[in-house]
Structure 1
Amino acid sequence: MSHALEHTARKRDAIRILFILDQAGTPPGAGAPPGAVAVIKAEKRLQALDFWIRCPDYLAAELLAMHVQYPDRGYLAEAVCVMEGDEPDVRRLGMIRFLFGAWEQIDDSMSLLISLGLARIKRNIKPDGKVTRTDFYLLDAGRQLANQLSSGSTHLAWYRDRARLVALVAGNCSGDDLKERQYAQAEYQGARWGQVIGPIKQRVQESLKELTKESIQ
């Protein structure tokens, strides 16, 4: 990858993480850094949320499962929105399967956000020096920038809208719970360690077609 493309990808990834923190973060609570307005506790949860934005077909599959359970809450329409057009292909950024599921290096993205005064991280460390959890904080300046970006560009507003939808799908589930839900997809579960997790677009489109037929009968 050329330096220019690498720089563009780094900015894109940082923007996506910024919107995830903004839309899926919870109130920071006691012990938060000054100026913090939201937090995502634990990298495993952040990685799981990021996976659903990067892989729209998997997000749509979750929405369809939620529709089956709660058919009157609009989840089917949201799944249609996610799967229509070329979004599942154009927006897809495949993730690698590692020991604990989908994972991507986010240090560069967070470093950029931190250097710009938009976010902070806080590591919970045991007396032996082992990091037990890393929390990701959005600062007020980060929220202001997220609002400015989404207001000024429909392209960037997509990140806001998808992060908001992912937050709805994830609810209050822990990172472990979210990973368990993602492992329920055979293609995710069956991906080899170190390989890109394969798409499920065709299967989701077939399910979407069947559920749409049922909803209008």
Structure 2
Amino acid sequence: MENDLASSVPDAPVTSREQDAVRLLLLIRGAGQKPTHLDLADPGLGKAVGVVRTQVRLQKLDFWLRNPDYLADELLTDYETSKEPALLELAGQILDSEEPEVRRYPMLRHHFGAYEPLDDALAVLRSSGLVVRRRRGTVNHVRQHDYYLTQHGDQVAQRVVSEAPVFSYYVERVALVVALADGLGGTALKKRQYLQREYAEAARGTRIGSVSIRARARLEALRAQSATNGNEGES
């Protein structure tokens, strides 16, 4: 049903299954935590080198990766709190460029926030032995899905970036997304993303709209404020 819903929404930039697979591979590699001893005791996970726990977390991290305008706007939010110049600069690098337009692949507004079917892309990774999925819970109730990067998957990810440097974009943005998430779980990330009006008010089954215009105006206002504060400090 979700795939039917996704395909019925017009005028949205489309990625191929292979593009999605590479993006998710680099995301799982960059966002993965170290597997526990209990994880590695699983016969199928003996060569796992990283894990992203829960599909919710994977989806929410992927949302920022697919929507640079939202990523930049969140950097501005953190800048307002911390006043770290690097955050303002990073947001500016995104918003001063065409990245929010050319790198944006909007996601559907689903029952519980942003959602995009990942089964096809994950099937590519799983069938190639790059990622292993484990269901947690009982036979009648799956509590969560965890995604393990295998040693082979890690090697392939490194080779992809080495042979096609264009994918280094995702490596850099994944690092930024992970730093922004700062250890938040999937539910906490969802709550943070719901603070965005465009995200929260999107009708179910529609693509979540861009915030690039608002974010760029916000960037200019914060730059002006920063310049004013700097001038006052010098006087």
**TM exceeding 0.5:** yes
The alpha-carbon deviation at position 210 of structure 1 amounts to 1.1
| Bigger Rg, structure 1 or 2 | 2
- Relative to structure 1, is the Cα distance of residues 173 and 73 closer, same or farther in structure 2, using a 3 angstrom cutoff? farther
The alpha-carbon deviation at position 125 of structure 1 amounts to 2.3
Partner of 1:65: 77
1:20 equivalenced with 2:31 (yes/no)? no
Partner of 1:214: 225
Q: Is the 8 A contact 1:42 1:136 kept in 2?
A: yes
From 162, 166, 191, the equivalent of 1:151 is 162
Spell out, residue by residue over 1:70-125, the C-alpha distance to the aligned partner (whole angstroms, 9 max, x if none).
Answer: 11261111111222321101111010001110001111111101111111000012
Q: Which moved more, 1:15-24 or 1:153-162?
A: 153-162
Counterpart AA for 1:136:
Y
User: 1:11-160 residue pairs with structure 2 within 5 A?
Assistant: 11-29=18-36, 30-32=38-40, 33-72=45-84, 74-126=86-138, 128-160=139-171
Root mean square deviation of aligned Cα: 1.6
Counterpart AA for 2:32:
G
Q: For 1:31, what is the secondary structure of its paired residue?
A: helix
Q: Is the 8 A contact 1:149 1:157 kept in 2?
A: no
Counterpart AA for 1:31:
D
Distance, in Å, in 2 between the alignment partners of 1:162 and 1:84 is 16
Partner of 1:4: none
Spell out, residue by residue over 1:150-187, the C-alpha distance to the aligned partner (whole angstroms, 9 max, x if none).
Answer: 23333110011111110010111011100111100100
Give aligned pairs, total: 211
Q: Is the 8 A contact 1:55 1:92 kept in 2?
A: yes
Task: Structure 2: give runs of 5+ residues left out of the alignment.
Answer: 1-6, 8-14, 229-235
- Relative to structure 1, is the Cα distance of residues 44 and 109 closer, same or farther in structure 2, using a 3 angstrom cutoff? same
- After TM superposition, where is structure 1 displaced by more than 6 Å over at least 4 residues in a row? none
Task: Structure 1: give runs of 5+ residues left out of the alignment.
Answer: 2-7
| Identity of matched residues, % | 37
Distance, in Å, in 2 between the alignment partners of 1:154 and 1:82 is 19
Q: Is the 8 A contact 1:113 1:119 kept in 2?
A: yes
TM-score by length of 2: 0.86
- Relative to structure 1, is the Cα distance of residues 97 and 79 closer, same or farther in structure 2, using a 3 angstrom cutoff? same
TM-score by length of 1: 0.93
